[in-house]
Structure 1
């Protein structure tokens, strides 16, 4: 790499819960002001088959930024644009550099020269409570039945037949047209030593409900699915493992192939742990596994 220098670090670093298998490599390189490391992406974290689930693809930036941050403040937000599918079973690269704003970092996931995801991560502490009353209401509705058939059977989050041993099987469940409410209890292995759910996993579980909230539009337009293009996650408090939660979502707007929806992680007492907003693009055919 032009203008780079390699620096060894102690060992590969887990990205999110170690049980997922995502890891940052054991060497760093400084390239044109970016700190670059390998990103090991295992099989089994599917969204569409062979492709990293969208919330994971966006949330990888959190730990990449945290690896260079000196203050260890909680996550404030991550804002990501997804330009191309992130392949599974590959070693990619992740690059990070600070911005001119304190506690804010630019992060890119790359496959050689191609930028797959570009994100901005803020590590300045959690925001005050969210005012998302329409989403909070969805955490109190009777639990609707989940739907097992979908074009994403192997999805880590919502697939009925996932490939990863720690997949969540959060089947989509509609509480009315454009409204999703899915019960979730996160097990200990996907939390940290404080009993808190890792933000990377929160990012993943708040992606799928947003696309499912628009599924009646997907079917009405004859699309095979919709792919995440822009994703924003904002954190408000640490979510506990082994406690009953809901992942909820509402469809906001459909404009041509552009689908906009919001999601939240909420408990049945109305406590909001995180919110997401997503732009999905409707597609006639889902992508195949990247070459």
Structure 2
């Protein structure tokens, strides 16, 4: 393993499951150490509220918890065909039908947890379109998500693109899934305090693996960022509080 680049801490506010970090947020934090697009692979649940180390290696960067590798980031261009956007009006109409309002394995998730208050969680609640091909939610990032340039920090864009892809497919048999691999591309800076639309869609299933896409659009349908995710079915008891 190479030279330490920095230390970082995943505050419990940014959890997905109760005892580990939201996958998209953690991937976004590690991606900040890579120039350009990258793919992040999560090898272990990211621990909360303790110091982790980002280490440079010959292929990119790794997030370490002592000697354990938590995640690896590798430069990689993202090629993804986007479906048609969902209008802001339709996203607003779909969001109240979010399946997570009825049953949610991780109800305090930073991104899609119904228990999170406005200004604390992102409160992205994607509901399914009539044909079931996509899920969509409105999102209005507030100024607390901005960096020094006044734009949404990339880690929050990665987070916003995470959960909508997971909600793009059903979780049969009482099983749930967690993010295993994530690649994102931010096409243009994301403004705060503007109405946006996040969508997710299923690309294909391969046993316990689910390949999904997600995208962030402006209110007038301009694509701003997009991502490709691989989700893995897991036993809930391994991730519960």
TM-score, structure 1 length as denominator? 0.73
Q: Does 1:169 align with 2:119?
A: no
Q: Assess if the C-alpha contact under 8 Å between 2:4 and 2:53 holds in 1.
A: no
64, 80, 83: which is aligned to 2:43? 83
Report SS of the residue matched to 1:276: strand
Higher relative contact order (CA 8 A, sep 6+): 2
Cα distance between partner residues in 2 of 1:277 and 1:85? 19
1:164-217 CA-to-partner distances (Å, cap 9, x unmatched) read 952111123111424111000000111124331111000001010011001x2x
Which residue number in structure 2 is paired with residue 246 of structure 1? Answer: 197
Count of residue pairs brought into register by the alignment: 234
Which residue number in structure 2 is paired with residue 209 of structure 1? Answer: 164
135, 142, 153: which is aligned to 1:198? 153
Cα distance between partner residues in 2 of 1:265 and 1:57? 19
Which residue number in structure 1 is paired with residue 142 of structure 2? Answer: 187
Mapping of 1:1-291 within 5 angstroms? Answer: 33-65=2-34, 76-97=36-57, 106-121=60-75, 132-134=81-83, 136-139=84-87, 142-143=90-91, 144-146=94-96, 147=98, 148-149=101-102, 150-162=104-116, 166-176=120-130, 177-214=132-169, 216=170, 218-219=171-172, 222-288=173-239
| CA distance 1:57–1:133, change in 2 (3 Å) | closer
Structure 1 residue 88 displacement after superposition: 1.0
Cα distance between partner residues in 2 of 1:164 and 1:64? 29
- Larger of the two Rg values belongs to structure: 1
Q: Assess if the C-alpha contact under 8 Å between 2:126 and 2:199 holds in 1.
A: no
TM-score, structure 2 length as denominator? 0.87
Report SS of the residue matched to 1:247: strand
Cα distance between partner residues in 2 of 1:284 and 1:77? 31
Which residue number in structure 2 is paired with residue 102 of structure 1? Answer: none
Q: Which has the higher mean CA deviation after the structures are superposed, 167-176 or 267-276?
A: 167-176
User: Could you list the runs of 5+ residues in structure 1 that have no partner in the other structure?
Assistant: 1-31, 66-74, 100-105
- Higher helix residue share: 2
| CA distance 1:131–1:233, change in 2 (3 Å) | closer
User: Could you list the runs of 5+ residues in structure 2 that have no partner in the other structure?
Assistant: none
Report SS of the residue matched to 1:142: helix
Structure 1 residue 40 displacement after superposition: 1.8
Cα distance between partner residues in 2 of 1:224 and 1:90? 29
